[in-house]
A = this chain, B = another copy of it.
């Protein structure tokens, strides 16, 4: 007979790992299913300086490792696998994996978010050929090169600051006339002499033969076009929730985020959502972790009802 877990947690970022710490500590049989490494998006963050408890900052990788160790220590199982779907069978939840499936009494969806693709011509074809979504991963390939970052939030500005270590010329392309990033991060960018900021501008096309060579830009105020020669481009223009694999199982808002009630319950009883993937998340490590703890609390309530 197959094991039925009390709770299956889909995604091993801060929300999922915290849900696991709480659920396992409460002696629910708990499994975290993660397709990549534990930690989610923060793995690639060189320094997290706003997670409370680490006044000197901590790397995203180290913070993830600690949370992962804590979940395992309290008794959670960790499975490396890709979830391809979830369905219900009476009160049971069936989680489909690439070539098997597993069962649980409750599910917490903590599948997080990933970088928005702009959808401009050439972007897809040139991804991995100079077009990247992770400066921490790919920055070192661009020593002495001309690089552009697209976006205006914290992620974009952090990527730009990181890239100053490698790039010779660095531009930030932003569609508005001011950044939405945290002020302290904006100040750091403004203090850099070698960052050129291109305001009110969008990328209309990624162009190049076999690798990125230039961006076709459009100024939204003047309507005029121009080209920018680049050796590398980092797209950091927002995050979108990872909810495609759910195939309409639970209700989503028009951003594709999971709609939850005040107990983090979705439209399906026994299926909860926490962290970046749910509607109205502010997409911070600490808020995702807080959500994770709450979701485990409400899972216990659901299982005991």
A residues apposed to B, CB below 8 Å = 14, 17-18, 21-22, 25-27, 49-55, 58, 63, 66-67, 69-70, 73-74, 182-184, 187, 262, 280, 282, 284, 286-294, 297
Question: How many subunits of this chain does the assembly comprise?
Answer: 2
Contact A187 B297 (CB under 8 A): no
Residues of chain B contacted by A297 (CB below 8 angstroms): 282, 284
Report the nearest B residue to A19, measured CB to CB: B52
A26-B183, A294-B282 given; A66·B54 CB < 8 A: yes
Report the nearest B residue to A68, measured CB to CB: B55
- Nearest 10 A-B pairs (CB), nearest first? A290-B290, A27-B183, A55-B70, A55-B69, A287-B290, A52-B67, A18-B52, A286-B293, A25-B184, A52-B289
**What are 26 inter-chain pairs, A to B, with CB distance below 8 A?**
A17-B52, A18-B286, A21-B50, A25-B49, A25-B50, A25-B182, A26-B182, A26-B184, A27-B183, A50-B74, A52-B289, A53-B54, A53-B63, A53-B66, A53-B67, A54-B66, A55-B66, A55-B69, A55-B70, A55-B73, A74-B184, A262-B280, A282-B294, A286-B289, A289-B290, A290-B291
Q: How far is the CA of A73 from the CA of B67 in the complex (A)?
A: 24
Residues of chain B contacted by A26 (CB below 8 angstroms): 182-184
